[in-house]
Amino acid sequence: MKNYKIVVTDDAKEDLKRYREYLFKKKHSPQSAKNLVLDFRETRKVLEDVAGSIKEPESEALVKRGLKRINLLKHNYFLLFRIEGSVAYVTDMFHELEDFENKLR
């Protein structure tokens, strides 16, 4: 099994920060904010092992950009990533109810 180096882009870091702040400040739930960050880290760790085995997405918008999707392990969010050699670049994070295709950078 191939291990991938995971690089989280600044855009993806900003996405995580935005969701964390929403849970912390707007929903007044520091524990939820903490749990989301922990889940992000756990999912990133799993991605090291499975990035190359994740199937191609059904979304044409993702295929055009060379992106794949992995759901967070415990929350209703997902990460988008692309593979270049042995590196997986996490480019975006979205909530599953968002119209992410229209928000892609």
**Pairing, β 77-84 against β 68-71:** antiparallel
| pLDDT confidence of residue 2 | 79
Query: What percentage of residues in the chain have a pLDDT greater than 90?
Result: 94
Mean pLDDT score of the chain, rounded to an integer? 96
| pTM strictly above 0.85 | yes
Question: What domains sit in the chain, N to C, each tagged with a CATH number?
Answer: 5-98 (3.30.2310.20)
Query: What is the DSSP secondary-structure string of the chain?
Result: ----EEEE-HHHHHHHHHHHHIIIIIS--HHHHHHHHHHHHHHHHHHHHHGGGSPPPS-HHHHHHT-EEEE-SSSSEEEEEEEETTEEEEEEEEETTS-GGGT--
pLDDT in tens, 51-98: 999 999 999 999 999 999 999 999 999 999 999 999 999 999 999 999
